[in-house]
C-alpha cells in the first residue's frame, strides 16, 4: 500500500491525447523513479477538447474523453499493481458554462430561478438594467446583439427527439422557456399553413391545453414535450413554421418576432464586451465560460462530490488537491463538510491526504482548515528561489531595470495601479454588484442612508486597492483576530488617501466587512445583505489580487523574471540562509506535510528557466552590457509608427530575459520562434499597457511578432544570435547547478515534493499552454535504465542533455524512500558552516529518532565555474559544515561537492533528542 503521506508526487496533465490508458502505461516508470503517488489533473467530465480539465461541465461523471469509467478502472488497476496512490486535483469552485454541454446550466437557462440548479450558481437575478423581470446576462455575442440578430446568426431550432426548442448562437445552445411553447406553436402552425392538417390540429390542440404565462410549468413540461415529439408529422410542420422566427437582413418582421421571444427568456443575450461591466453571475476570475458554484449549498456540495465519495469508498483515491479555495464563500465550512464526507466514504477514520491551492502573501500563514495538510507549495517555490539568489547581484539588476523602464524600482505603486486597471475593466461587473449591495445596506437604515452610492464606491475601491493579501476567512461567527486586524489596517490605509468628508463612512465600511453591523445594540441593517456583502467581498479580493498581481503587474515589472512567480515578490531581495532555516523550523511545527513545488501548470515559466535567470544576478555587469549591446544590434528591427514603438523599451528588455531563460541548447528546435511569439503576445496582453485582451492593438502585436521573427532569423541577425547563444550557454550551465540545488532542497526540506510532468529533464518551458506540451515518456524510460548506477563525472561532462538532473532526481527519490520517516516526519536542524566560502553553502540535518541525513547545498556558484564557462570545480569550495550530535562532524564541503552542487550524507543522530533552538 502507498504511504498515507506521499513520499513524492508526480503531476500528470490528462487530455484526450494522454488519457487514462496512457497514464496507466507509465505507472511502472513512475514507481521505478521513486514516486509514491500520481497527482492527476481534474478528470471529471470537462468541456470537449479541454487541455487542462478545469472547465468541468459535469462533476457526476468521469471524463469520457479520458476513457470514462472503463478507462479509469484500467488506470486504477495499473496504479495498484505498482503500489502507487492517486491524488485528484478537484475543482469545487466553478464549472464550465455556455455552449451546450453543462446540464445544470442549460436547465437554469430554461427555467430561471425555478430550476433546482439555480441555487448552485451565484447569480444576481435582479441586477440587469432595463429589464422588468430577473434574468441572467449571457455575454456570448461576438458582434453587437442587434447585428447578430439582423444577420440571422441567432437561429431557433426544434429538437424532434426531445420535443424541445432552443435558440442557437453558433455552438451555444439557449433553451427556450417551455412557458412560451404554446404561443410559439400557434405562430409556427400559422406560418406553415398547416392549421387544417392532422399534424397541425394535433399541435394546436396540445398548445391549447396549457394557457397562461406560466404553463406548461416544470411539472407539466416533460409530458408536454413527450406528447409534442410523439405527434406524427409534427417535425416537418415545425421545421416550415420556424420561418416565423428566421431572422435575416431582409426579414424585419421575423427579426422582431425572434427578438421579442428572446427578450421573454430567463436570460439576456449580449455582446461579449458587456461581461466587463454588466455580467451578473460570479465567474472564475474574468473567464465568462467558467461560472462560480455555490458549494456552500449542501445539495450542491453533495452533488459535485458524488464521484469523489465513490472513489474514496472503493479505495481508489488517496488524496485531494482542492483548486482555488479562495473562490469559496466559506472554506472553513467546506473543509468540515469534506472531512465528514471522507469519513463516511472510508467507513472509519483513516489518513487521507488533503492540500489546497492557496497563494499566501508576505508573512501570511495558512488558516488551519479541518484535515488540510498544507498548500500546494508556491510559498516554498519562492523561498527556494530567493535563498539561491545572489543578493549582491540583485542590486545592480534593480538599477538596470530602473534605467530601462524609467520608473521607480518600488513595486507597490505599480501593483496599486494594476488593481485600479482591473477594477475598472476586467472585474468591473463584480465590483459594481458589490458597491450596489453596499449602497442598499447603507440605505436600509436612517443612520447611514446619507452615504451616497458614489461615495461608498470610492471608499470601497480604496479598500480593495490597499488590501494586501488574497482574502480574509470570515465565518458566520465573524472574523478571527488576525482578519479583524487585517481589515482595520486596510481601512486605515484607505482612509489616509481619502480627501472628502468621512463622518463615519470608513467606520461603516469596516463594520460591514467585519459583520459588526449585526451586533446587538447596533442600528438594524439587513442581516441577509450584510452577510452576503461580507462573504462576497472575500470571494472578490482574491480574483482582484490574482488578476492585478499575477496577470498584470508581473508582466510590467522585470527586474528579474525569476522572481515574477505565482506567490512571489518581483521586487524581493535574496533570502538570507538564516531566514530560510527559520521558515523550515516553522514549517515542521505547522504544516510539515504540505506540498513543495518548483513547477506547476500555473507557474510563469519552467523551473529550469527560472534557475537560469537566477544566473543573471551572478553576472549582473555582463548582463547589463550584453542587453545594451543587443538593444543597439536589434534597433533596425524595432517597429516604429508615430509614437508607437514595438516592442516598448521595457518589453524588449523583458524579452531578452525570456529568451535567456528558454534558449534551446539544441540547435534543431524548430518550434522556438513560434513559442516565443505566443509568449510575447500573451505577456503583452496580460501587461495591459500597449495592448490587452479586451482591446488588442493589432499594429503593436504584429510588431512584436515581426521583431522576434527578425532577431531570431539567422540570416538577418547572425551577430545577435551568436552573442545571445554564447551568453545563454553560460547562464544555462550556472542554471543547471541552480537547478540541481533547487530540486535537492525541494526533496529534503520539510514537506512533500511534487514533480511536474517532464521535469526530470531540464524544463525551460514558458507560461501555459507551453508548459502543457506532450512529454516523451518513452525517452525517459530509456534513460532510466542507463542511469541506474550514475557516473557523476561523466554526466557532468554532458550536463546539457539533462541526464544529470534525471539521475540526481532519481537518487533523491531513492533516498526519500529509504529514509521515509526522516523526511516525512523528521525534525529540521540548521547546521553551522564556516570557512571562506561559507556563504555559498546551505546545510541542515533531518532526523527522526536516531536516523538522520545531513544535506549540503551549494548556492551562487558562478565563481566556481569561470562565469559559466565550465562545470563546477568543487575542489575550490573552502567551507566546513559542523554537525554536533551526529556521527559525522567537521564535514569538508569540497570532499562531497565534486561534480554536483549538493550532497546528502546518511548518518546517525545521538540517542538524546537534539533540537536546534538557535532560530526559534
Query: pLDDT tens digits, residue range 381-436?
Result: 999 999 999 999 999 999 999 999 988 888 999 999 999 999 999 999 999 999 99
**Residue 276 and residue 263: Cα distance in Å, rounded?**
21
Cell numbers representing residue 469 in the block: 493579501
Cell numbers representing residue 452 in the block: 451616497
Q: What are phi and psi of 706, to 5 degrees?
A: -70, -40
Query: pLDDT tens digits, residue range 814-829?
Result: 999 999 999 999 999 9
Arithmetic mean of pLDDT over the chain: 95
Query: pLDDT tens digits, residue range 95-153?
Result: 999 999 999 999 999 999 999 999 999 999 887 776 777 899 999 999 999 999 999 99
Return the bridge partners of 269, or none.
138
Cell numbers representing residue 446 in the block: 436612517
pLDDT value of position 126: 83
**Residue 297 and residue 889: Cα distance in Å, rounded?**
59
| pLDDT for residue 918 is more than 60 | no
pLDDT value of position 289: 96
Asked whether 627 and 783 are in contact (CB, 8 A), the reply is no
Cell numbers representing residue 913 in the block: 533528542
Kindly report the pTM of this predicted structure. Answer: 0.95
Any idea which residue has 439582423 for its cell? 150
pLDDT value of position 785: 85
Q: Which residues have a Cβ under 8 Å from the Cβ of 890 and sit 6 or more positions away?
A: 880, 881, 882, 883
Q: How confident is the model at residue 700 (pLDDT cuts 50, 70, 90)?
A: very high
Query: pLDDT tens digits, residue range 248-293?
Result: 999 999 999 999 999 999 999 999 988 888 899 999 999 999 999 9
Strand extents, DSSP E, 63-163: 85-90, 94-96, 136-141, 154-159
pLDDT value of position 409: 81
The residue-averaged pLDDT of 337-351 equals 93
Average the pLDDT over each of 309-323, 748-762, 775-789 and give the range with the smallest value: 775-789
**Residue 528 and residue 33: Cα distance in Å, rounded?**
54
pLDDT value of position 525: 84
Query: pLDDT tens digits, residue range 521-550?
Result: 887 888 999 999 999 999 999 999 999 999
pLDDT value of position 916: 45
The residue-averaged pLDDT of 294-313 equals 98
Q: Which of 328, 343, 320 is nearest to 92 (CA)?
A: 328
Q: Is the dihedral of CA 558, 560, 566, 571 positive or negative?
A: negative
Q: How confident is the model at residue 503 (pLDDT cuts 50, 70, 90)?
A: confident
| pLDDT for residue 920 is more than 60 | no
- Burial-class residue 737 by CB neighbours within 10 Å (0-12, 13-18, 19+): buried
Cell numbers representing residue 609 in the block: 528557466
Query: pLDDT tens digits, residue range 846-860?
Result: 999 999 999 999 999
pLDDT value of position 127: 79
**Residue 192 and residue 504: Cα distance in Å, rounded?**
67
Q: What are phi and psi of 228, to 5 degrees?
A: -65, -45
Q: How confident is the model at residue 912 (pLDDT cuts 50, 70, 90)?
A: low
Asked whether 34 and 816 are in contact (CB, 8 A), the reply is yes
Query: pLDDT tens digits, residue range 707-721?
Result: 999 999 999 999 999
| pLDDT for residue 872 is more than 60 | yes
Distance of CA 915 to the CA centre of its chain: 38
Q: How confident is the model at residue 508 (pLDDT cuts 50, 70, 90)?
A: very high
CB-side exposure of 708: number of CA atoms within 13 Å? 24
**Residues across the chain:** 920
pLDDT value of position 195: 92
Cell numbers representing residue 80 in the block: 495498484
Cell numbers representing residue 67 in the block: 476513457
**Residue 904 and residue 390: Cα distance in Å, rounded?**
23
Distance of CA 287 to the CA centre of its chain: 12
In the chain, the percentage of residues whose pLDDT exceeds 90 is 91
Any idea which residue has 505565482 for its cell? 566
Amino acid at each position: 500500500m502507498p504511504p498515507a503521506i506521499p513520499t513524492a508526487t508526480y503531476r500528470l496533465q490528462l487530455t484526450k491525447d494522454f488519457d487514462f490508458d496512457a497514464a496507466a502505461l507509465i505507472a511502472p516508470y513512475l514507481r521505478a523513479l521513486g514516486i509514491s503517488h500520481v497527482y492527476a489533473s481534474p478528470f471529471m467530465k470537462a468541456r470537449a477538447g479541454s487541455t487542462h480539465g478545469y472547465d468541468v461541465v459535469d462533476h457526476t461523471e468521469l471524463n469520457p474523453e479520458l476513457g470514462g469509467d472503463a478507462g479509469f478502472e484500467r488506470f486504477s488497476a495499473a496504479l495498484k499493481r505498482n503500489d502507487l496512490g492517486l491524488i485528484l486535483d478537484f475543482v469545487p469552485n466553478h464549472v464550465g458554462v455556455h455552449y451546450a454541454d453543462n446540464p445544470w446550466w442549460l436547465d437554469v437557462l430554461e427555467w430561471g430561478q425555478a430550476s433546482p440548479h439555480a441555487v448552485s450558481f451565484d447569480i444576481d437575478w435582479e441586477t440587469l438594467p432595463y429589464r422588468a423581470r430577473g434574468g441572467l446576462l449571457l455575454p456570448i455575442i461576438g458582434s453587437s446583439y442587434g447585428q447578430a440578430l439582423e444577420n440571422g446568426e441567432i437561429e431557433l431550432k426544434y429538437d424532434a427527439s426531445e420535443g424541445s426548442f432552443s435558440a442557437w448562437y453558433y455552438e451555444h445552445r439557449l433553451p427556450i422557456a417551455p412557458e412560451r411553447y404554446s404561443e410559439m406553436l400557434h405562430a409556427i402552425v400559422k406560418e406553415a399553413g398547416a392549421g387544417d392538417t392532422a399534424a397541425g390540429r394535433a399541435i394546436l390542440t396540445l398548445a391549447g391545453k396549457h394557457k397562461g404565462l406560466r404553463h406548461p410549468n416544470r411539472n407539466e413540461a416533460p409530458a408536454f414535450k413527450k406528447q409534442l415529439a410523439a405527434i406524427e408529422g409534427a417535425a416537418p410542420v415545425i421545421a416550415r413554421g420556424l420561418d416565423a422566427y428566421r431572422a435575416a437582413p431582409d426579414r424585419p418582421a421575423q427579426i422582431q418576432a425572434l427578438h421579442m421571444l428572446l427578450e421573454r427568456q430567463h436570460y439576456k443575450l449580449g455582446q461579449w464586451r458587456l461581461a466587463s461591466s454588466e455580467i451578473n453571475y460570479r465567474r472564475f476570475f474574468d473567464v465568462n465560460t467558467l461560472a462560480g458554484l455555490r458549494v456552500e449549498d449542501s445539495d450542491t456540495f453533495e452533488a459535485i462530490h458524488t464521484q469523489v465519495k465513490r472513489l474514496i469508498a472503493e479505495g481508489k483515491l488517496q488524496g485531494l488537491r482542492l483548486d482555488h479555495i479562495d473562490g469559496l464563500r466559506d472554506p472553513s465550512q467546506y473543509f468540515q463538510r469534506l472531512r465528514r464526507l471522507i469519513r463516511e466514504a472510508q467507513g472509519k477514520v483513516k489518513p487521507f491526504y488533503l492540500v489546497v491551492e492557496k497563494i499566501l502573501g508576505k508573512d501570511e500563514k495558512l488558516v488551519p482548515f479541518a484535515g488540510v495538510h498544507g498548500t500546494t507549495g508556491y510559498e516554498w517555490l519562492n523561498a527556494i528561489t530567493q535563498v539561491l539568489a545572489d543578493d549582491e547581484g540583485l542590486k545592480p539588476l534593480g538599477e538596470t531595470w530602473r534605467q530601462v523602464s524609467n520608473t521607480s524600482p518600488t513595486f507597490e505603486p505599480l501593483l496599486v495601479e494594476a488593481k485600479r486597471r482591473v477594477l475598472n475593466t476586467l472585474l468591473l461587473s463584480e465590483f459594481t454588484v458589490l458597491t450596489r449591495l453596499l449602497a442598499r445596506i447603507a440605505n436600509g437604515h436612517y443612520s447611514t442612508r446619507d452615504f451616497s452610492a458614489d461615495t461608498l464606491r470610492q471608499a470601497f475601491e480604496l479598500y480593495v486597492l490597499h488590501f494586501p493579501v488574497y482574502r480574509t476567512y470570515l465565518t458566520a461567527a465573524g472574523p478571527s483576530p488576525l482578519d479583524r486586524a487585517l481589515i482595520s489596517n486596510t481601512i486605515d490605509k484607505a482612509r489616509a488617501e481619502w480627501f472628502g468628508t468621512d463622518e463615519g463612512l470608513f467606520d461603516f465600511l469596516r463594520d460591514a466587512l467585519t459583520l459588526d453591523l449585526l451586533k446587538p445594540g447596533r442600528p438594524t441593517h439587513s442581516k441577509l445583505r450584510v452577510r452576503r456583502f461580507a462573504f462576497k467581498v472575500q470571494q472578490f479580493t482574491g480574483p482582484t489580487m490574482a488578476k492585478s498581481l499575477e496577470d498584470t503587474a508581473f508582466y510590467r515589472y522585470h527586474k528579474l523574471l525569476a522572481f515574477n512567480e505565482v506567490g512571489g515578490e518581483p521586487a524581493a531581495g535574496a533570502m538570507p540562509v538564516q531566514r530560510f532555516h527559520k521558515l523550515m523550523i516553522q514549517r515542521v511545527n505547522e504544516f510539515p506535510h504540505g506540498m513543495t513545488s518548483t513547477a506547476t501548470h500555473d507557474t510563469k515559466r519552467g523551473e529550469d528557466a527560472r534557475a537560469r535567470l537566477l544566473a543573471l544576478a551572478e553576472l549582473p555587469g555582463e548582463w547589463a552590457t550584453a542587453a545594451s549591446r543587443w538593444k543597439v544590434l536589434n534597433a533596425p528591427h524595432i517597429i516604429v509608427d508615430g509614437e508607437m514603438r514595438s516592442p516598448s523599451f521595457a518589453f524588449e528588455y523583458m524579452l531578452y530575459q525570456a529568451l535567456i531563460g528558454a534558449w534551446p541548447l539544441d540547435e534543431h528546435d524548430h518550434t522556438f520562434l513560434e513559442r516565443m511569439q505566443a509568449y510575447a503576445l500573451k505577456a503583452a496582453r496580460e501587461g495591459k499597457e500597449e495592448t490587452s485582451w479586451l482591446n488588442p492593438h493589432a499594429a503593436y502585436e504584429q510588431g512584436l511578432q515581426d521583431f522576434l521573427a527578425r532577431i531570431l532569423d539567422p540570416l538577418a541577425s547572425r551577430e545577435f544570435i551568436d552573442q545571445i547563444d554564447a551568453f545563454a550557454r553560460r547562464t544555462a550551465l550556472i542554471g543547471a547547478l541552480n537547478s540541481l540545488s533547487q530540486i535537492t532542497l525541494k526533496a529534503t526540506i520539510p514537506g512533500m515534493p511534487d514533480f511536474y510532468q517532464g521535469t526530470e529533464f531540464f524544463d525551460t518551458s514558458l507560461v501555459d499552454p507551453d508548459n502543457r506540451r506532450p512529454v516523451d515518456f518513452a525517452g525517459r524510460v530509456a534513460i532510466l535504465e542507463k542511469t541506474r548506477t550514475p557516473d557523476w563525472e561523466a554526466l557532468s561532462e554532458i550536463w546539457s542533455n539533462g541526464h544529470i538532473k534525471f539521475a540526481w532526481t532519481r537518487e533523491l527519490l531513492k533516498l526519500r524512500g529509504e529514509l521515509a520517516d526522516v523526511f516525512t516526519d523528521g525534525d529540521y536542524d540548521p547546521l553551522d558552516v564556516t570557512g571562506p566560502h561559507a556563504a555559498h553553502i546551505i546545510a541542515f540535518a533531518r532526523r527522526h529518532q536516531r536516523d538522520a541525513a545531513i544535506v549540503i547545498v551549494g548556492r551562487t556558484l558562478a565563481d566556481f565555474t569561470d562565469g559559466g564557462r565550465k562545470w563546477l570545480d568543487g575542489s575550490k569550495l573552502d567551507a566546513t559544515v559542523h554537525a554536533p550530535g551526529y556521527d559525522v562532524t567537521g564535514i569538508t564541503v569540497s570532499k562531497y561537492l565534486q561534480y554536483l552542487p549538493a550532497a546528502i550524507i546518511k548518518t546517525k543522530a545521538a540517542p538524546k533528542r537534539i533540537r536546534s533552538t538557535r532560530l526559534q
